[in-house]
Structure 1
Amino acid sequence: MDIQHLPEPVRKYIRYTGSIGKPKVNNFKVEFTGKIRKNEQTEWMPFTSEQYNFMEIPTRLFFMKAVMKRLPIAGYHLYKNGDAYMDIRLLSLFKVQYKDGVEMDIAETVTFFNDMCCMAPATLIDERISWQVMDENMVKAAFTNNGITITAFLFFNEAGELINFKSDDRYNTDAGKKLPWSTPLGRYREMNGYKLAGYAETIYTYPDRDLCYGTFEVSSVKYNCTDKK
């Protein structure tokens, strides 16, 4: 793996996670447990999820099962080469929320890049990423896919851990505009030969407050899967 062109904080992170000397990551599967909510006025919903990411043609398939007022909710996010949609259904039948379009395409490009940074550090050598050093523990990244370019700031601690990811390019449906979006990370542990963050939150920053609307505990990570088992 050639990491010489990367900023030092990113090189340090890749070394810390044990990504050096491993096979090139072509795809990965992640399983989560956690809880989500729409805003502070709604109840937290426990969920389990699994997702599949593919690198050559950037693709993300995200499947979620949640419970809302004792009723099952199924969620599906599809992102493929810059096109995305989200479909949330009650009892797997009745639409609760559906969204597609340009804003969704950009938002899910941010999410795909976030997955690369948090769950597959070895993919950060990708030539679709350009880097700018901000200081010794922070870099700015621009990720381009199929004509869509998003930017994000990556924050690291002295140990080399990625501790936060922030982007201003993710659209918030409730606000009707883009809001700063961040995913603070922690609880690093060994997973399938890599040292990765085991916990993350998803936060939108409104002008008057931060809204944490999701918490994620990583159950498992697998790389270069040949099937969906």
Structure 2
Amino acid sequence: MINLIVLIVALLAMAGWNFEREFKKDVSQSFKNVSISEEIISEADVAQLPIPVQNYLKYVGAIGKPKIKTARAIFKGEMREKGKDWFGFTSEQYNFFADPTRLFFMKANFKGLPTQGYHRYKEGKASMLIKLLSVFPVVDISEPEMFKTETVTFFNDMCLFAPAALIDKRINWQTLEDNSVKAVFHNGEVSVSAILKFDESGRMINFISEDRVDVNSNQNVPFSTPVTEYGTVNGYKLPLAADAVWHFPEGDFVYGKFYLQDVQYNLKISD
């Protein structure tokens, strides 16, 4: 019996290692196409942006720092489904901005069982695979509609923890009232829009989009990420905490709480 338990534990560990290796392989391949320059963000670079966005980039401290090509972010937090309890998670993700790519790997404890999830947004495709015990798929989605949803997520990342990447010709801006802007982000043939809201100090306080689909209900539902805390990370003043909210017709539902632990920009494949 003891030998059997040891064998099962070893097999589960191997399964987890193999699953995470897929993520690391994609990360390594994505870095091969990255060219990091030492170009610095200047006042002229942000001059064409709406005033609230200019103020945001000045507030976070992007002026005078290098232009961003890649980002690696570490999060911890909680997630839940409707009618179910919260579960804790940690995540590691890599974003590549020249060729929009988002590789997000999550480790969680769901009802006492180790669970891993991999969101892959790369080369015009998007998928989400979640495995219980790193073996049994409980969510496996790769429909074409997933790409638009994950494009919103990718753009949300840019706004929240890589705001220097908002200096991008693929974004069309429109200034609105009440210190808000509308942004339309284009990735190939797919375009998504969001309303960005700012406070008087220049901080972005919310991101609202109607272009995401809730995979649990398979409905197009308004989505937002209100920021709950700011702080300094590696020389940037960034949102440290934000909620993830679905705005269902019957009421708002907070399904995620994200806490930024670390972010690094312009890493190289050897870092």
Q: Matches of residues 69-218 of structure 1 in structure 2 within 5 Å?
A: 69-218=111-260
Indicate the SS of the match to 2:210. Answer: strand
Question: Which protein has the bigger helix share?
Answer: 2
Question: Which protein has the bigger strand share?
Answer: 1
Q: 1:207 to 1:213 in 2, by over 3 A?
A: same
- 8 Å contact kept, 1:82–1:148: no
Query: Taking structure 2 as the reference length, what is the TM-score of the superposition?
Result: 0.82
Within the candidate set 45, 54, 63, 1:20 is matched to 63
Q: Does 1:7 align with 2:73?
A: no
- Residue matched to 2:36: none
Q: 1:10 to 1:81 in 2, by over 3 A?
A: farther
Shift of 1:136: 4.5
Aligned partners of 2:269 and 2:226: how far apart in 1?
31
Q: Does 1:58 align with 2:100?
A: yes
Please list the CA deviations of residues 70-104 of structure 1 after superposition, one character each: whole Å capped at 9, or x if unmatched. Answer: 10010000001431000000011100101112221
Q: Does 1:34 align with 2:77?
A: yes
Shift of 1:227: 3.4
Aligned partners of 1:82 and 1:159: how far apart in 2?
37
Shift of 1:33: 0.5
Indicate the SS of the match to 2:176. Answer: strand
Runs of 4+ in structure 1 off by over 6 angstroms are: none
Question: Match for 2:205: what amino acid?
Answer: I
Unaligned runs of 5+ in 2: 1-40
Question: Match for 1:15: what amino acid?
Answer: K
Question: Match for 2:97: what amino acid?
Answer: M
- Residue matched to 2:30: none
Aligned partners of 2:209 and 2:166: how far apart in 1?
17
Q: Does 1:220 align with 2:265?
A: no
- CA-atom RMSD in angstroms: 1.0
Name the larger-Rg structure.
2
Indicate the SS of the match to 1:225. Answer: coil
Shift of 1:145: 0.3
Aligned partners of 1:227 and 1:64: how far apart in 2?
21
Larger RCO (CA under 8 A, 6+ residues apart): 1
Aligned partners of 1:227 and 1:202: how far apart in 2?
31
Query: Taking structure 1 as the reference length, what is the TM-score of the superposition?
Result: 0.97
Indicate the SS of the match to 2:211. Answer: strand
Shift of 1:228: 7.1
